[in-house]
Structure 1
Amino acid sequence: MKLTPEQLKDFEEQGYIFLPEHFSPEEVAVMRTEAEGIYQSDRKEVWREKSGAPRTAFAAHTYNEVFRLVGAHPRLIEPVEQFFGEKLYMHQYKINAKAAFDGEVWQWHQDYGTWARDDGMPEPRAMNISVFIDEVMPINGPLMLIPRSHKHGTLAAGHDVQTTSYPLWTLDHDTVSKLVDEGGIVAPTGKPGSVLMFHGNLIHGSAGNITPYPRKIVYLTLCAVSNHIRKPTRPEWIAHQDFTPIETVPDDALLTYARSQKLAAE
Structure 2
Amino acid sequence: MKLTTEQLAQFDRDGYLFFPGLFTPEETQSLNDAVPELYSRDEDYNIREKGKTAVRTNFATHMYSEPFAKLARHPRMIEPVEELLGEALYMHQFKINGKMAFEGDVWQWHQDYGTWLNDDMMPTERAMNVAIFMDEVTEHNGPLMFIPGSHKKGVVNAKHDLTTTSYPLWTVDNDLIRQLVQRAGGKEGGIVSPKGPAGSMILFHSCLVHASGSNLSPFNRVSVYLSLCAISNHIRRHKRPEYIAHRDFTPITCLPDDCLTKDYPVDLPWKDGVPASALKTSLEEINPERKAA
TM-score interval for Structure 1 and Structure 2 normalised by the shorter chain: over 0.9
**Counterpart in 1 of 2:251?**
245
TM-score, scaled relative to structure 1 = 0.96
User: 2:63 and 2:33 mapped to 1: Cα distance?
Assistant: 17
**Counterpart in 2 of 1:56?**
57
**Counterpart in 1 of 2:26?**
26
**Counterpart in 1 of 2:212?**
206
User: 2:98 and 2:183 mapped to 1: Cα distance?
Assistant: 30
What's the RMSD between the two structures over aligned residues?
0.9
Gap regions ≥5 residues in structure 1? 259-266
**Structure 1 residue 232, shift from structure 2 partner:** 2.4
TM-score, scaled relative to structure 2 = 0.87
Confirm whether residue 109 of structure 1 aligns to residue 115 of structure 2: no
**Structure 1 residue 141, shift from structure 2 partner:** 0.1
User: 1:41 and 1:249 mapped to 2: Cα distance?
Assistant: 28
Q: Is the 8 A contact 2:28 2:260 kept in 1?
A: no
Give deviations 1:54-110, integer Å, cap 9, x for gaps: 100000000000000000000000000000111000000000011100000000000
User: 2:149 and 2:33 mapped to 1: Cα distance?
Assistant: 35
Which one is further off, 121-130 or 43-52? 43-52
Give deviations 1:227-255, integer Å, cap 9, x for gaps: 00012210011000000000001111111
After superposition, where does 1:28-177 map in structure 2 within 5 Å?
28-50=28-50, 51-177=52-178
Give the residue type in structure 2 aligned to 1:160: D
**Structure 1 residue 257, shift from structure 2 partner:** 4.0
Q: Point out the structure with the larger helix share.
A: 1
Give deviations 1:150-194, integer Å, cap 9, x for gaps: 000100000000000000000111000110111100000000000
**Counterpart in 2 of 1:262?**
none
Aligned length: 258
User: 2:36 and 2:132 mapped to 1: Cα distance?
Assistant: 15
**Counterpart in 2 of 1:231?**
237
Give the residue type in structure 2 aligned to 1:7: Q
User: 2:15 and 2:154 mapped to 1: Cα distance?
Assistant: 12
**Structure 1 residue 225, shift from structure 2 partner:** 0.3
User: 2:79 and 2:173 mapped to 1: Cα distance?
Assistant: 35
User: 1:97 and 1:139 mapped to 2: Cα distance?
Assistant: 15
**Counterpart in 2 of 1:220?**
226
| Runs of 4+ in structure 1 over 3 Å off | none
